[in-house]
């Protein structure tokens, strides 16, 4: 992944665009075919080194022109046709599109693996009943299968977004200074089309001197969305690993050390790392929004920023994708604590179940809510089992039998369509 963004690879992407431009000129007979062949042959880091480009740039203080000069000096007489009619951003923006094309292939593969890991856990725990929490308080039962299916489907939406966005992100341009294509002559439209067809990219419809940065901001925001899904999952793991909850935890190596001073510690370090790195990716995405409003036909404020934020966000997203897949695949579940936590409220978390059962029997829903609420509050305040107070309540006992109350208090019987939802989601993903 890092190799996609190193100096030599970036130089090769730029040389690839210069070669494609020369071939396009030759196709429309603007330059000799032999010249295009020579430029194509020499447009390689085997001939044009990063060191030579840097040496020229140190003299002239222009990175793209340094590449043009370094390539030209290797092409002999054909060198005079290098970069013909183009402006710097025609080359660098199109080269960036090539870079992102290769990166998105890695990203898509990573998202597929992430989705698969979530889906596998959803299937494994499709009937693992646990307490659901809202406002960090016990709510009603849910299943771990449903939890993981939610993450799987969220990842699937990121895949959809990525595939839909490719047509907007993976585009190049050959429009010259301020976008008029004047320097490219009468064959300008054909040249741009041929360059992009050659490189396997789409073409801008209209542009000025740069490809418009809403495209790149969309890509960066997609990375931020992916990072926040990973952070969302990591936060859940961190919470579930709390000593007081301890339902799910990160895998812990046999020789792994949790603390330099507290030998007993087993910290959620991967989940915390994912959360921390996600903040950097989100910040990079925010910076990309400021690259959209450039002055007039262009300025350079986006360029220096993008040299940092795009490689950084891409590499870091790939990094926490890998961490997350490893985290999911090695999660450790604690069935005893999952069951224990279901009973922490002495049955009060089944209050809705009792209320709905009473409503089925003809009891008014609002009236049932108040009766059950009072029983639940008494249970909490007096430290008495919810079941006991339900049986003592005249309205409840008149409406429901003891057997019906016990059935309504069973968490295993109050998960609604959770299993069916997971099955439907997994079917959709296959």
Mind telling me the catalytic residues?
A: 135, 259
Q: Which residues contact 322 (CB under 8 A, 6 or more apart)?
A: 110
d(C-alpha 24, C-alpha 36), whole Å:
8
Tokens of 277: 């790195």
d(C-alpha 6, C-alpha 8), whole Å:
6
Query: What element of type H or E holds 131?
Result: strand 129-134
d(C-alpha 44, C-alpha 25), whole Å:
19
DSSP string, 163-226: HHHHHHHSEE----GGG--GGGGGGHHHHHHHHHHHHT-EE-SS-SSS--THHHHHHHHHHHHH
Residue of 73, 94, 123 whose CA lies nearest to 14: 94
Counts of helices then strands in the chain (DSSP H, E): 17, 6
Pairing of strands 171-172, 332-333: unpaired
Residue of 126, 128, 91 whose CA lies nearest to 11: 91
């Amino acid at each position: 992944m890092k190799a996609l963004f190193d100096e030599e690879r970036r130089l090769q992407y730029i040389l690839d665009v210069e070669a494609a431009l020369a071939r396009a000129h030759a196709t429309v007979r603007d330059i000799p075919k032999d010249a295009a062949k020579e430029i194509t042959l020499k447009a390689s880091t085997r001939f044009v080194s990063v060191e030579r480009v840097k040496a020229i740039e140190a003299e002239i203080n222009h990175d793209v022109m340094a590449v043009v000069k370094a390539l030209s000096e290797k092409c002999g007489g054909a060198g005079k046709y290098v970069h013909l009619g183009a402006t710097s951003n025609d080359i660098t923006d199109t080269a960036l599109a090539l870079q992102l094309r290769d990166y998105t292939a890695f990203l898509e593969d990573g998202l597929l693996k992430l989705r698969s890991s979530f889906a596998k856990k959803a299937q494994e725990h499709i009937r693992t009943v646990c307490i659901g929490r809202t406002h960090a308080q016990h709510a009603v039962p849910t299943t771990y299968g449903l939890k993981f299916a939610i993450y799987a489907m969220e990842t699937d939406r990121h895949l959809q977004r990525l595939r839909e966005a490719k047509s907007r992100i993976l585009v190049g341009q050959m429009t010259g200074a301020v976008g008029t294509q004047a320097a490219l002559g009468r064959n300008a439209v054909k040249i741009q089309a041929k360059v992009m067809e050659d490189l396997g990219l789409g073409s801008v419809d209209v542009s000025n001197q740069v490809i418009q940065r809403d495209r790149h901001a969309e890509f960066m925001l997609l990375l931020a969305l992916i990072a926040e899904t990973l952070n969302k999952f990591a936060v859940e793991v961190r919470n579930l690993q709390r000593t007081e909850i301890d339902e799910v935890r990160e895998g812990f190596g046999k020789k792994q050390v949790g603390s330099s001073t507290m030998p007993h510690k087993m910290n959620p370090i991967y989940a915390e790392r994912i959360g921390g790195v996600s903040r950097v990716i989100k910040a990079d995405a925010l910076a990309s929004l400021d690259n959209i409003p450039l002055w007039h036909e262009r300025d350079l404020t986006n360029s220096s920023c993008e040299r940092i934020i795009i490689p950084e966000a891409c590499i870091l997203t790939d990094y926490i994708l890998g961490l997350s897949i490893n985290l999911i695949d090695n999660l450790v579940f604690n069935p005893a604590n999952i069951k224990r936590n279901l009973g922490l409220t002495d049955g009060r978390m089944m209050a809705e179940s009792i209320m709905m059962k009473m409503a089925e029997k003809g009891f008014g829903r609002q009236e049932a809510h108040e009766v059950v609420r009072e029983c639940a509050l008494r249970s909490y305040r007096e430290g008495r089992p919810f079941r006991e107070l339900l049986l003592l309540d005249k309205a409840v006992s008149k409406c429901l039998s003891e057997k019906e109350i016990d059935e309504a208090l069973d968490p295993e019987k109050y998960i609604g369509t959770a299993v069916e939802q997971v099955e439907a989601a997994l079917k959709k993903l296959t």
